[in-house]
A and B are shown apart, each in its own frame.
Chain A
Amino acid sequence: MSAIANAPAHDHHDDHGHHHKETFITKYIFSQDHKMIAKQYLITGLIMGVIGIAMSILFRIQLAWPEQSFWVFEALLGKWAPDGVMTPSIYLALVTIHGTIMVFFVLTAGLSGTFSNLLIPLQIGARDMASGFLNMVSYWLFFLSSVIMLSSLFVEAGPASAGWTIYPPLSALPQAIGGSGTGMTLWLVSMAIFIASSLLGSLNYIVTVINLRTKGMSMTRLPLTIWAFFVTAIIGVVSFPVLLSAALLLIMDRSFGTSFFLSDIFIQGEVLSHQGGSPVLFEHLFWFLGHPEVYIVILPALGITSEIIATNSRKPIFGYRAMVASILAIAFLSTIVWGHHMFVSGMNPFLGSVFTFTTLLIAIPSAVKAFNYITTLWKGNLQMNPGMLFSIGLVSTFITGGLTGIILGDSTLDINVHDTYFVVAHFHLVMGISALYGLFAGVYHWYPKMFGRMMNKNLGYIHFWVTAVGAYGVFFPMHFIGIAGLPRRYYTNTNFPYFDDYADVNVIITVAAIITAAVQLVFLYNFFGSIFFGKKAVQNPWKSNTLEWTTPVEHIHGNWPGAIPSVYRWAYDYSKTGENGDYVIKGQDFVPQTVPLQDKEEELNH
């Protein structure tokens, strides 16, 4: 298959000599080059990330020192913070938009969009994505949806504030909460465009991986990054349309008087005409995307980590086939576990049993992945580059956060910790922090490929260690106030004197959050500074096997100046030795994929 795929790619190469004239606009703005689009995704994602994290700091300050006056509220929130005291409605709005931005705009588009675009063509040996034009459209739709989402912050009645899960009727009725007016409309429009962008991107990734692999690049020789991006794209194509349908039905309920999700409502002295709908239906539709979404976020991070851990351990990833099987199993199971968000939603308790079963099943491939990472470190020769540190950090938070999933996935135990801070701690560790670590790991590792320069490693170390301690400082204590029955999304806990002695914990959490957020500035400085002042990179700084490091440091359209290289082996021949105990290539502990099998060398059957 790959041989056939190579033919058109080769044609493309032939007309490579006479470049189109590139203007500033076609090179930097409406670029169809996957490397430029990856950078556009990354920088947009980082900007959204700064906004999302800043919002979390604002509401954490409110939680630690409830209803006190801060100049920062007055400066940033204006009329939403009279005399510098945050109002309950803007608190809910911040929580909602923080969730939306982080989940969709940073961790879906910023992470998967960046690295799928950058790495798929480079690592499979393709000149570009299957459709450069669609790829460009995908980015610009994402950009448009980001702008609309941010513009919703400035509407009169406030942005969407029904939680990032936008459960109706709260999200459907402006009478119920101010943010469900224009703010919610903009949220829905923005998300609809986002979904279109994500689908265009995903289809492109799938087609590219299936059709444009270079000669010799069989599916079983693909680096795990590509497997992860490929499967993520498939989950996206399966589940995002369901969210779109839910959003469309909600738009109909809101604006055209239908009753898909609304029934028997009396609000502000008036009975509404809606009859016969069910909010539980919305929950089903939402979580049919919402849960796979968690894996859309984490799988690319795990793929990136697999590659970085193997490279920096100077060892093959342990159990390549098991890793691929785990990715596939997680992808399949992720589409049949959504009900574990709804154990106490009023859904039939028998369904609860089924979802408990499937949910705990998904722990098995996740456990296999964690064990395989640990074994990959065993007897390695670990090169502690910042990317490697973040990858190890990811495995750590993925385990900590994943384990509490066993409690939440158990329908019985969920009864009393549902929607408490225990849940907040769980998902922030397992998908929030872990995926962010994956993003950071990827940025540090592929920065030389993206910008042709190196990031400063010492700033990277500071960034990692403070973040690692800070992230646990934020989310570890949170489990304990959650298990003590403290509900999430409360503007203040002071109305329940029973919760008074948790106030100190909330202060600790907020202080840790502020420190952790502050150290991200070091990263931003390092990132933007190194674009201009970083040390010039060599072609293969991490001594890696994968194809992207065979391209020249200077970006060229079409990636390789000559013919596309062929592939003769899998991506993980690190520290491989012959019978005599010497490395396969003398004096070099890695064998790039482009190197043919040597004399008497055995190829492992992967």
Chain B
Amino acid sequence: MTVFLVIIVLALLAVTGWQISKIFEMSKRPDADTSQIANDKDNKLNGILMLAFVIFLYVITIYCFWEYGRFYLPEAASEHGSEYDTLMFVSIALIMVVQVITQGLLHFFAFKYKGEKTKKALFFADNDKLEFVWTIIPVIVLAGLIIYGLFTWSDIMNVNTEEDPMIVEVYAYQFAWRARYAGEDNTLGKANVRFIEGVNQLGVDESDSYGKDDKIVTELHLPVDKPVLFKFRSQDVLHSAYFPFFRAQMNVVPGMITQFGFTPTITSEEMRQSEYMVEKVQSVNEERQERNEELIANGEPTLDPYEFEYFLLCNKICGQAHYNMQMKIVVESEKDFNAWLEEQPTFGSVMADQSKDVDRPEDTSGSESPASEGEEDAEGEDNTNEQSQESEAVAVVEKNN
């Protein structure tokens, strides 16, 4: 009923508007221009508005750079990140120059040459020299950018294996991340979703000896100034591992292993104490404080004050909770890192603990029943196929680099 009333009211309003416009039309002098084609007055008004518009454009540009420019991420916390930022600043500077000039010309001409009855336009259809100039300038500028960009790209994407980077697997599933460290041997054990069972959430192959010393954790710790090579694996759908502070990102693709390598250079502690971050955290906390006052007034639980931590987030639409798929990253000194890693249980020990837990109630004193062994064998056979396929996939990725 209310909907019906609203529709009636809207309809009546529309009729009123139409009638008023009719009255206006009728009250016009008979010689008034009703052709609905722009006349000199319109040209003048809109010409001036064009000039006002480009000023508006300049003003919001300056305002945005001034107010929102500080949103740009803090100093890159990875080795290649500074290269990235330089290229970004060069590109932004360049496009802003072009933007200011072309928008200025476009709107200024629109203002300057606004039509008048008595004016005559210039018949100017072609000028090869002019066209050549503005074809060749973009060619040169873009060639420079392309070359610069490509060198940086191959620097970033070609992982230097001679430096012996630490191998870490980043594993994605709806809607969280896990990390798997390769252990002493710096080689990840083979894995496939078909091995997923119980505590073996990442599907690591128990029969692969490389996997025994792997360590699976829920937050990512990285030693500062040590190259790391990430291997990405997904369990279900596409995800994207986005490390904004390290200027790094790679999609995580089910059925395939992708990789990205970088060297973190700034520890979490250093970043927290940087001038940028102190200011940023303060402004965030002010924001949160304001909201807390509202929340208290409504009798709702308040927000905790914010402290900066690096994070990894998912940047490829992956389902309902995509917006909250994150993992904490801690960059610390090598000593702290080793101490932390030491505390984490290896995959082998976790599995052994589990089988102890499982065995005890059954009380089979260590030896398994032949039936279950047979089952395992069958599974094992199935899995060799997968493994060979997966190692092929890895080989392909590595060959590409």
Contact residues of A with B, CB < 8 Å?
Answer: 88-89, 92, 162-163, 167-170, 173, 176-178, 262-267, 271, 276-280, 313-322, 344-346, 348-350, 352-353, 356-357, 360-361, 363-364, 367-368, 370-375, 377-385, 388-389, 392, 395-396, 399-400, 403-404, 406-407, 410-413, 415-416, 418-420, 454-457, 461, 465, 468-469, 472-473, 476-477, 479-481, 483-485, 487, 489-493, 495-498, 500-503, 505, 525, 529, 533-535, 538, 541-542, 572, 574-577, 589, 604, 606
Contacts and interface: CB of A to CB of B under 8 A. Distances in A.
26 contacts: A170-B238, A178-B320, A267-B235, A279-B238, A318-B126, A318-B127, A352-B153, A356-B149, A357-B146, A367-B135, A372-B131, A380-B115, A383-B38, A383-B115, A396-B57, A412-B149, A457-B37, A484-B68, A484-B72, A485-B242, A496-B311, A498-B284, A498-B311, A501-B280, A501-B287, A525-B17
Instruction: Name the residue among A344, A489, A541 with the largest chain B CB count within 10 angstroms.
Output: A344
Contacts of B37: 383, 385, 454, 457, 541-542
Interface in B212-268: 232, 235-238, 240, 242, 244-245, 247-251, 253-256, 258
Interface string B179-206: 0000000000000111010000001000
B106 A396 contact: yes
Contacts of B121: 313-315, 379-381, 574-575, 589
A411 B91 CA distance: 13
Interface of B: 14, 17-18, 34-38, 42-43, 45-47, 49-50, 53, 56-57, 60-61, 64, 68-69, 71-73, 84, 87-88, 91-92, 94-95, 98-99, 102-103, 105-107, 109-110, 113-116, 119-127, 130-131, 134-135, 138-139, 142, 145-146, 149-150, 152-154, 156-158, 173-174, 192-194, 196, 203, 232, 235-238, 240, 242, 244-245, 247-251, 253-256, 258, 280, 283-284, 287-288, 303, 306, 308, 311, 313-324, 326, 386, 389-390, 397, 400-401
Contacts of B113: 313, 377-382
A502 B196 CA distance: 40
B120 A384 contact: no
Given A364-B142, A535-B34, 9 more contacts: A277-B255, A353-B150, A370-B102, A392-B50, A396-B106, A411-B150, A419-B240, A487-B242, A533-B18
B120 A381 contact: yes
A374 B145 contact: no
B99 A403 contact: yes
B38 A457 contact: yes
Contacts of A577: 123
Contacts of A473: 60
Contacts of A403: 95, 98-99
Contacts of A457: 36-38, 42
Nearest to B284: A500
Contacts of B244: 416, 485
Contacts, number: 391
A492 B322 CA distance: 10
A480 B64 contact: yes
A377 B149 contact: no
A88 B315 contact: no
B43 A383 contact: yes
Contacts of A265: 193, 235-237, 254-255
Given A352-B157, A356-B149, A382 B110 contact: yes
Contacts of A262: 254-255
Q: Which 8 A-B pairs have the closest CB atoms?
A: A263-B255, A485-B244, A480-B68, A346-B258, A484-B71, A384-B46, A454-B36, A349-B157
Contacts of A356: 146, 149-150, 153
Contacts of B247: 415-416
A353 B400 CA distance: 13
A86 B139 CA distance: 48
Contacts of B315: 418-420, 487
Contact of B138 (A314, A353, A367, A479): A367
A385 B47 CA distance: 11
Given A360-B145, A477-B64, A500 B287 contact: yes
B250 A344 contact: yes
A188 to B, nearest CB: 17
A412 B69 contact: no
Contact of A400 (B73, B99, B192, B251): B99
Contacts of A317: 125
B84 A374 contact: no
Nearest to A493: B323
B126 A279 contact: no
A520 to B, nearest CB: 15
B303 to A, nearest CB: 8
A67 to B, nearest CB: 11
A17 B14 CA distance: 43
Contacts of A572: 125
Contacts of A346: 232, 250-251, 253, 256, 258, 397
B320 A89 contact: yes
B126 A320 contact: yes
Contact of A495 (B53, B124, B232, B326): B326
Given A265-B236, A407-B88, A410-B87, A604 B125 contact: yes
A396 B107 contact: yes
A395 B400 contact: no
A376 to B, nearest CB: 9
Given A364-B139, A364-B142, A263 B254 contact: yes
B49 A465 contact: yes
Given A353-B154, A357-B146, A374-B102, A415 B95 contact: no
Contacts of A368: 131, 134-135, 138
A360 B254 CA distance: 31
B122 A575 contact: yes
B346 to A, nearest CB: 23
Contacts of B326: 495-496
B115 A345 contact: no
Given A349-B158, A412-B153, A457-B37, A497 B124 contact: no
Given A407-B92, A476-B64, A415 B156 contact: yes
A17 B210 CA distance: 88
Contacts of A606: 125
A271 B194 contact: yes
Contacts of B43: 382-384
Contact of A489 (B99, B194, B237, B317): B317
Nearest to A505: B68
A407 B95 contact: yes
Contacts of B88: 407, 413
A360 B46 contact: no
B196 A404 contact: no
Nearest to B130: A375
A458 to B, nearest CB: 9
Given A262-B255, A264-B193, A344-B240, A378 B109 contact: yes
A353 B249 contact: no
A492 B46 contact: no
